[in-house]
Each structure stands twice: as C-alpha cells, then as structure tokens.
Amino acid sequence: MSNALHDHDQTHDQQDHVSCCTVDEKVSEHTHDHNHQEGTLKLFIPAGLSLLLLACALVFDYYLKPAFFTGWLRVCWYGAAYLPVAWPVWKDAFNTLRKGEIFTEFLLMTIATIGAFAIGEFPEGVAVMLFYAVGEIFQTLAVRRAKLNINKLLDQRPEQVTVIENNQPQLIKAANVKIGSIIELKPGEKLGLDGELLSEVASFNTAALTGESKPDKKRKGEPVLAGMINLNTVTLIKVTTAFQDSKLSRILNLVQHAATQKAKTELFIRKFARYYTPTVALLAILICVAPYFIVSEYIFREWLYRALIFLVISCPCALVISIPLGYFGGIGAASRNGILFKGGNFLDVMAGIRHVVLDKTGTLTQGVFQVQVVKINPEFDKTEILNLVNVLESKSTHPIATAIHRYVGELNHTLSFQHIEEIPGHGLKGLINNKELLVGNFRLMDKFAIEHHENLSGISDTVIAIAYDKKFAGYIIIADEIKADAAGAIQELHRMNIKTTILSGDQHTLVKNLADKLGIDTAFGDLLPEDKVNKLKEIKNQNEHVAFVGDGVNDAPVIALSDVGIAMGGLGSDATIETADVVIQDDKPSKIATAIHIGKKTRQLVWQNITLAFGVKAIVLLLGAGGLATLWEAVFADVGVALLAILNAIRIQHMRF
C-alpha cells in the first residue's frame, strides 16, 4: 500500500498545493478548500459504489433471499462489487511485478481475494478488497493532511506584490521582483520577499515564521522577512533578496525535504517489511500444502481459506505507513512551534538527549550589546582610537561590532587598513599607517605581549581591550541582556533530568556569573574554538547524548561533533540554517525543551504503533493458522490496525507543547 500511496499522494500534492495571494487570499483559500473537497469525494466514489453493491448483495443473501439471486447472476453481482476497488490494486500489482517486486501488498491482496472467490467466499473476497481500498484512502488523506499542514504553516509567500515604479504602484509577480526594488505593503498584507525597512517604524505579525503572534516592531534600516504581516500603516520596503532565496523559501524547502532523512526506527521497519512479507507468504503456502502430508482428512478448501487469512494479515501497511506519518507529524508539530527539524532522524536523537551544552551570546543572552563604559588612556586621542576601532570592527559580524558602531557612529572612510586579520577566540588585528591596532579580549593582549595593569576581575560584563602601536590604549565595557525565558528554560531541562553546561569564549568570571544566575550546572569560559571541541569530547566520553546550542557559524566544529546541533535565531543567518540539525526560529531558549518533548512524544507514538501492529497481527496469525479466525478478523488485523495506527500517529499534530 505504501508505494501506491506515495505515487497517488504526489499527484494530489501537485493539485492541492496552496498559494496565498496578497490580493485575493480569501478567494484562493476558498477555491483551494472547494477543490480539496472535490478531490476527496472522487477518492471515495469507487469504494462507495462497491459498498452499495456489497450491501445489496448481503441483504439478498441473508434477508430477502430472492429466487433470482443465484448462480451466475450472484457471481456477476459480487464481481461488479469487487471490480471498482480491485482494479487499481491489480494495476499496482502488475506495475510492481514489472519492476521485479514480487512480494508486495498489491499482489498478496489480489491473490487472497481471487482465492476467496475461487472457493465461493464472495462476500469475504469483496469485503477484504473494499476495506483495503478504504484503508488506503484514509492513509492517503492522513499523509496529505500532514503535508498540507506544513505547507499552510510555512508557504506564506504571496504570489504577487505591489512594487513602486516611477512613483506608481504596480502589481507584479513576486518571483519577478528584482533586488533593489521598492515594495509597498498595506496593513494586513504579507510580505513576499526579504528586505530592508525604509519607513521609520512598522509592526509585523511574525507567527508564520516563529510561531509567535506577538507583534514585532521594526525600525528603519532593520531587516524584514517574507511571510511577515504588516499590522499598522502603509510601509515601504527595499528588496534585498530574490524570491527563491528568501529565508522563508529556504526554510520551506528544508522542511519539505525533511522526510528524506529517515529515523533509524523507520529504516529498520522498512527493511524488516521486505523480509516479513515474503516469509509470511511462504508460511501461507505451507499452511495450504503441508497438512496434505500430515492430516488424515485433508480438505483443500479449508486449508486454502486459512492460507488466504495469512496472506491478508501479512501486509505490513500499519507499519510502513503509520511510522513515517508519525515522524512527519512530529516535524509538523515542531514547525507550528517555530522549530525546524531537518529530518525524522533528529526527532529520535532529541528524544534521547541527556546533556545540553549551550553557547552564551545570542543563545542565553539577547546578543544585543550596549556600550556601558569607555576608558581610553590619556596619552591617546579618544576620538581617534574609537574611530579606528569602529572601522576595524566593521569587518566583523559579531554583535559587539554592532554595539561599537552604534556608540561611535558613522565610519570614518578616510581611515584605511592595509591588513586585517581575525584571530579566533581572541579578536581582531589591523595594520594602519604601519601601526598595529589590536581589539579583543585580554588574551589577545597577552598573545602580543601588550603590557597592562588593569584589574577587571570584578566586572561581570564583556570587556574589549584595545592596543595601538604596541601600547595598551584602554578598554570598552559592553553589557548584554539575559533572555527573559532563559532561567525557565534551564529549570525545565533540569525537570527532565537533563544536565546543562555553558561553553563560551567570554571571560570565565562573566560566564560563571551567568551560569549562577540561571542555575546552569557547569560553566567554562575563556575557551578557544579548539577548547570547546575538547570540552565537548570530554562530555561525550561520559557516554551521554549531547545537544549543542549555538549560532551555527562560529561553533561549526562543536555542532558537527555533537549528536544534534541546534541553531538559535535561524532567521538571522543563512549559515545557521545550513549548519544546524534543528533550527529554533524565534531565539527562545525555552524551545530547546519543547523540541525534546516533541521528540519524546513522537518516539512514544511510533513505538505504540509498532506494538499495536505486531501484537494484533501475531494474535490473528495464530488464530488463523488454527482455523479460529476468518477473513473478517484478518481484515481488521490488517486494515483496521493500520487505521488505528494512523489515527494514533496524527494525534501529535493536534497536541500542545
């Protein structure tokens, strides 16, 4: 059933794809819902016709018993009830046979139902194929619904946008808008492309991107992203990214391809099904033939009936459909909470995490620094030094550079460095007018033997040391703000018996102070990138499953080493989306625990389905072999259990985390 379902679903995905237009959004959604309902009704037409004919036949057989309902007329009637649901299965069986796939559910169902007709069990033959077809329809709808839920959640890109050309608004396709164009966004409209805000201030609903409906106020010059909804006044935005390269497009592509990354459980079940089905088929043949040599009163019809029961039960539909659907539902549930998993395999990994290692800046703190203190030694010109530092830091993307630029102001473009070098874990070095400028931590001063006598051990904020022309020039103290939900996030992790550790390049006293405030178990500061790797190796050597949470760029080696890498603020960095296994879109540390909860619940549902499917099938297989079960019980063991497993799997799509 799984192969046919996949092909069938792909076709309908193309027909049912959602496009949200800024101008006619309500109309397009209504049209889509109408088309979706029509497509669903068409799926049920063959099964409905078959059910009507079967119901009439059962009434004739067991209640009215008319004289005409005998012989060939009775056979043809049941045949007419059988064909509408059997024909698609026959085609699938033929196509899979051409590909060399013999032991498929399509062929087994075909043999089982034709065998039932051959021994005169017409109602059972029709019923088996009918319920199989109905089960396939419900499975198709369940998978389609899971995919549509994610598409509706993420594909918020309007097809058309209003572009200002020659001071006149023009409605054009978003895919045709060029970088640098000016978009006019009215209140209530969705932004179609990433850009830079030109208006002084605007408020946006970012729920499509972050899962949070709280308005986000943006100011002139700040980035705004496709999918955001303008809340207040008419707003002008300068396009900075092509339609297909927007953050939302990249995220949508990421989630749509997440299903290709299979969890170990899913891969095992698929491999198991390849051996399970032919094994049970072989047992069915033995059940039919072997008693001839053992039983004194061998009745072929009776043992063939038992063999047919085995064939029906052998279909592994409940496993090969409900388990992938469970993981896909987990990915969808995470997406609704602003968490992007790159595959079902990472849901499994998150469920087993026992230790969360966190970066500091941008993970537990806002990453929005403010200059608090500037101390420049009297022998240096303060304005000159700050201008030099501002130009040098402009070559860095670190939030500290932004804070310095905000404090100093516009760059002095008359200053030109001959050489700029970033020293990992230390800071920046630049050469201007044959004089060396160093800006970074005090380890940088020590590295270049810059003598200083500052005692800043009591400072709990970030200190940026400055040296110019081989002399210590002073320092800048910059403060960062702890995120509002950071303490609650750590408490929730501890409630789940998960250890927490900070690894940071900031000075140890600053990191330790933050850890004490938040209740984090262990903290390490003054770490170079290679030191972080070594610390993480030490943690992993304790046989603990480790998740690392950071920015996904500077900490790439640590993310690669961890069992799962989690990126905070994925909407702010393209590299973050590429590097991490899991992306938390709204920067909230509390979503770490949410991701783990979703992983645990997904794994729980998957194992419930595995236990249900194997348990019921094993019981009915034994009853069927002993002649105590009929084809009706076999139908329940196959299609009924598959439907129960699917209903269980999709529960996660409606859970609150």
* Adjacency order of strands within the sheet including 462-468: 370-376, 471-479, 462-468, 435-440, 427-432, 419-423
**How many whole angstroms separate alpha carbon 262 and alpha carbon 89?**
27
Residue 516 falls in the annotated catalytic set: no
Options 92, 348, 359, 581, the catalytic residue: 359
Residue given tokens 């890109």 in the structure block = 157
User: Cβ contacts of residue 431 below 8 Å, gap of 6+?
Assistant: 417, 418, 419, 420, 437
Task: Express the helix, strand and coil content of the chain in percent, nearest 5 each.
Answer: 55, 15, 30
Terminal C-alpha separation, the chain: 32
User: Cβ contacts of residue 333 below 8 Å, gap of 6+?
Assistant: 598, 602, 652, 653, 655, 657
User: Cβ contacts of residue 14 below 8 Å, gap of 6+?
Assistant: none
| Alpha-helix runs per DSSP H in 155-240 | 207-210
Q: DSSP letter string over 522-580?
A: EEE-S--HHHHHHHHHHHHTTT--EEEEE-SSTTHHHHHHSSEEEEE-GGG-HHHHHH-
Beta strands in 26-151 (DSSP E): none
Q: What are the φ/ψ torsions at residue 414 (nearest 5 degrees)?
A: -80, -15
Torsion of CA 339, 9, 144, 273, to 10 degrees: -70
**How many whole angstroms separate alpha carbon 593 and alpha carbon 468?**
46
Helix (H) or strand (E) holding 146: helix 122-154
**How many whole angstroms separate alpha carbon 390 and alpha carbon 502?**
29
Tokens at residue 459, please? Answer: 């400072």
**How many whole angstroms separate alpha carbon 179 and alpha carbon 188?**
23
**How many whole angstroms separate alpha carbon 545 and alpha carbon 354?**
5
Helices 300-313/590-625 angle, 10° precision: 180
- Residue 457 burial (C-beta neighbours within 10 Å; 0-12, 13-18, 19+): exposed
Cβ-defined contacts of 570-578 (< 8 Å, 24+): 570/251, 570/340, 571/209, 571/210, 571/225, 571/247, 571/251, 574/247, 574/250, 576/551, 576/552, 577/247, 577/250, 577/251, 577/254, 577/552, 578/552
Count of residues for the chain?
657
Q: What is the largest CA-CA distance in the chain?
A: 117
The rounded radius of gyration (Å) of the Cα atoms in the chain is: 32
Residue given tokens 């998957």 in the structure block = 606
Helix (H) or strand (E) holding 617: helix 590-625
Query: Could you give the residue numbers annotated as active site?
Result: 359
